[in-house]
Amino acid sequence: MTSTIDSVHAPAARTPTPRADTPAPKRGRLSVANLSVAFRRNGILHQVVHDVSFCLEPGQCVAIVGESGSGKSVTARSIVGLTGKNSVVDAQSILLDGDDLRAATKRQWRRIRGRRIGFILQDALVSLDPLRPVGKEIAEALALHHWGNRRQRAAKVIDLLRAVGVPAPENRARQRPDELSGGLRQRALIASALALDPEIIIADEPTTALDVTVQAQVLALLAETKERGVSVILISHDLSVVAHLADHILVMKGGRVVESGSADQVLNDPRHEYTRSLINAVPSELTRGKRLGAAPSDTATTPAADAVAVSIAPRPTDHDCSGPVLQAVDLVKRFTTPDGTVTTAVDHVSFALERGTTLGIVGESGSGKSTTARLALALSSLDSGTVTLLGQDWSSLSEPRRRALRREIAVVYQDPLSSFDPRWNAERILLDSLTDAAGLSTAAKKARVVELARQVGLPQEILQRFPLNLSGGQRQRIAIARALAPNPSVIVLDEAVSALDVSIQAQILDLLVDLQRQRGLSYLFISHDLGVINHLSDQVLVMKDGVVVERGTPDDIFNRPAHPYTRELISSLPDHPRRNP
């Protein structure tokens, strides 16, 4: 067992290094036939996976792609027998190298997990025990399967960490996940799954919570693992993540496989409507100016188009000024951490948002982009610098004096649920946001709320529901309606589509584009997602560690990046599946 791992000692795994001299061992064949999974709740069975079949050849990668609720994770977990209490798994066969796993006892399962099938979950910050050093977690995988003695295990942990490209593994092994960077702890998680040299690795959204640059490193590491002959099952919501690793792709929707085929075929010649819409829904440079969602059917006209007839005309230009609607000059914001050190979250950031355009701010976590948004909204105090809204002083006003101007600038957050008072239904939330309608009668206000809902594509019935009972997309539409209600000039969108499934994200992005065209809105659009930024922005700011490292048109930024960091970001983007008309 040791010998196989010793051969793994690749130097830091930035790029996959194909090695022809190690022949792939002929193990790691998995075939699943007619897998169905149901959960029993309150005595009723709810089927979540229907008749899924696939075959994983040794050394290959099968990817299962789908949106939330598609059953992809449950499928993956049923392969290791961990679908949880109350689940009923039924399959014609689940064969791992000829052993039928359906018949496995609890004890046998425990010998399979970790030793024959390794499992990688998303976000090592919570997938590794946050109270223990990562080295202990890896050693635990070894100890559970009675590998070596304590000293051998300690040495092996260091080897494993080194093999997944963790520098100074002796020190890192003693640190807890929260003490490591996102990339290092994800590598440690992978090392714990690889510890016993399993035949198959199942990676469930292994890059989902990670920044793009780290995502690229983790994907390269997985590619290298596959190169060594380990079979990989990759679960993701993101076709582009899967694109350069998968040999075979299953597309799942509502618990069923809607399309299955070679990676090449599924990505380049998708047969199923849903696969096509998934690919088309991914925003990117190629989608600029185009709709991401399906063309609206004739039974229901586009909400936006419909709204033009009835509605509120584009804003009268009462604040007519030729300059930018929102301008920031030399914004600085410092935070004092609990241990007394001062960090500069936003460091001399300046920007100008022109009327009717979108300014995108892109950056990874900790880049200060969200703090910049809060400063623009005057929800945080500035340490220095000024923000001007519609040519008027904004940041230096006292809050009571600012209120009159507040209706000119609105905000939509990533998580709208927490921004709604749980006691209020959608109608009440929107009524409350009609800040410029003080004189109107209740009936007139209610009519405007219905109108607003229609503009964001929500039927009237939804208004009686409480946010808790709305889907993610519906919540985000309510949040947008609330932002529109006071008829603002500027909307700040802070990761507003980041938590949504790609097809719903596409609908919301389309809606935003429609609304902008129709009402002359200006957007300050904050996102970590380069594709979304590219799709939507007229101007782009790239932020890193609180500083704007580069600014320009999307064309400049994405095709001729000047700053090394921007270049690194762009090159980390996974290959994009081709768009299909």
Partner 1 sequence: MSTIERQTPPTAAVQTPRARRRAAPPAGLVVASGALLLFATALVAPGLLATHDPYALNLADALHAPSPEYWFGTDEAGRDLYSRVVYGTRESLVIGLGATAVSLTLALVLGALAALGGRFVAGTVNRVIEVLLAFPTLLFALLLVAITGPSALSQVFAVGVGSAPGYARIIRGQILSAKNSGYVEAAVALGHSDGRILRQHIVPNAVRPLVAIIALSVGQSIVWASSLSFLGLGVAPPSPEWGALLDAGRVYITQAWWLTVIPGLVIVALALAATTLGKHIQNTLEKGEK
Partner 2 sequence: MTRTSSNSPPRPAPGTRPVVPTLRRSPTLTWPRLRRIVEKIGGAVVVLFGAATAAFAAQAALPGDRATVILNIRAGQAIERTPAELAQINEQYGLQNPLVVQYLDYIGGLLVGDLGTSYQQFKPVSEVILQQIGPTVALTLTAVALSWLIMIAWVTLTAGRTGRLAGAGAVVDTTAAGLPHYWLGIILLLVFSLGLGWFPVISGPSAIGIVLPALTLAIPLAGFMGQATRTEFERSLEQPFVISARMRGMGDTGVRLRHVLRHSVLPAITLSGWALGATISGAVVVETVFSRPGIGKVLVGAVNSQDLPVVTGIVILIAALYVVANLLVDLAYTLVDPRLKSA
Both structure tokens of 561: 């990046």
CB of 269 to partner 1, least distance (A): 26
Residues 523-542 close enough to bind partner 2 by CB under 8 A = 527-529
Residue 393 is a binding residue for partner 1 (CB under 8 A): no
For the chain, report the end-to-end CA distance as a whole number of angstroms.
50
Query: Hey, CA dihedral for 284, 290, 293, 294, is it positive or negative?
Result: negative
Q: Which of 59, 81, 229, 303: binder of partner 1 (CB under 8 A)?
A: 303
> Candidates 2-10, 283-291, 369-377, 565-573 — which segment interacts with partner 2 by CB under 8 A?
369-377
Out of 1, 88, 404, 444, which residue is the one contacting partner 1 (CB under 8 A)?
A: 404
Shortest Cβ 273–partner 2 spacing (Å): 22
Do residues 263 and 250 touch, judged by C-beta distance below 8 A?
Answer: no
Among positions 16, 28, 59, 71, the unique one binding partner 2 when judged by CB under 8 A: 71
Helix axes 502-519, 273-281, angle to 10 degrees: 50
Scan for tokens 């496989």, then name that residue: 257
With binding defined as CB under 8 A, does residue 199 bind partner 2? no
Q: Do residues 408 and 394 touch, judged by C-beta distance below 8 A?
A: no
For residue 430, the minimal CB distance to partner 2 (Å) is 23
Site string for partner 2, 392-421 (x = CB under 8 A): ---------------------xxx------
CB of 446 vs partner 2, minimal distance in Å: 32
Residue 418 CA from chain centroid, whole number: 19
Task: Give min distance, CB of 411 to partner 2, in A.
Answer: 11
Nearest residue (CB) to partner 1, 28 versus 488:
488
Q: Which of partner 1, partner 2, none is residue 182 near (CB under 5 to 8 Å by kind)?
A: partner 2
Among 296, 314, 391, 552, binds partner 1 (CB under 8 A): 296
Query: Is the CB of 302 or the CB of 357 nearer to partner 1?
Result: 302
Please check whether residue 211 is in contact with residue 365, taking contact to mean a CB–CB distance below 8 angstroms: yes
What is the Rg, in whole angstroms, of the alpha carbon atoms belonging to the chain? 26
458 binds, among partner 2, partner 1, none (CB under 5 to 8 A by kind): partner 1
331 — phi, psi (to 5°)? -70, 135
| C-beta closer to partner 1: residue 147 or 413 | 413
Nearer to partner 2, 147 or 351 (CB): 147
Alpha-carbon span 118 to 340, nearest angstrom: 42
Enumerate the H helices of 164-238 as residue ranges.
Answer: 169-172, 182-194, 212-227
What character string, x for contact with partner 1 (CB under 8 A) and - otherwise, covers 506-545?
Answer: -x--------------------------------------
Rule CB under 8 A: say whether 112 interacts with partner 2. Answer: yes
Among 52, 56, 61, 72, binds partner 2 (CB under 8 A): 72
The correct pick among 27, 276, 402, 445 for binding partner 1 (CB under 8 A) is 402
Residue 416's Cβ-side half-sphere holds a number of Cα atoms within 13 Å equal to: 27
Residue 62 interacting with partner 1 (CB under 8 A): no
Residue 97: left if φ>0, alpha if ψ -120 to 50, beta else—which one?
left
| 499 lies in the site for partner 2, by CB under 8 A | yes
Please tell me whether residue 338 binds partner 2 under the rule CB under 8 A.
Answer: yes
> For residue 346, what are the β-bridge partners?
333
Could you tell me which stretch among 158-166, 201-209, 457-465, 560-568 binds partner 2 (CB under 8 A)?
Answer: 201-209
- Judged by CB under 8 A, the chain residues 414 through 433 that form the site for partner 1 are 415, 418-423, 432-433
Report how far residue 72's alpha carbon sits from residue 79's, in angstroms, rounded to the nearest whole number. Answer: 11
241 counts as binding partner 1 under rule CB under 8 A: no
Residue 431 within binding range of partner 2, rule CB under 8 A: no
Q: What is the dihedral of CA 39, 41, 45, 46, to 10 degrees?
A: -60
* Contacts of partner 1 in 368-387 (CB under 8 A): 377, 379
Residue 230: name its binding partner from partner 1, partner 2, none (Cβ under 5 to 8 Å by kind): none
Q: Residue 280: how many CB atoms within 10 A of its CB? A: 23
Which H or E run includes 405?
helix 399-406
Residue in 26, 338, 390 with CA at minimum distance from that of residue 199: 26
Buried/exposed code over 175-200 (b: 16+ C-beta within 10 A; e: otherwise): ebbeebebbbbbbbbbbbbbbbbbbb
Told to check if 28 binds partner 1 by CB under 8 A, we report no
Q: What is the 3-state secondary structure (H, E, C) of 406-441?
A: HCCEEEECCCHHHHCCCCCCHHHHHHHCCCCCCCCC
Binding site for partner 1 (CB under 8 A): 39, 41-42, 44, 46-48, 68-69, 254-255, 293, 296-297, 299-300, 302-303, 377, 379, 399-400, 402-407, 409-411, 413, 415, 418-423, 432-433, 435, 457-459, 468, 471, 473-474, 482, 486, 501, 503-504, 507
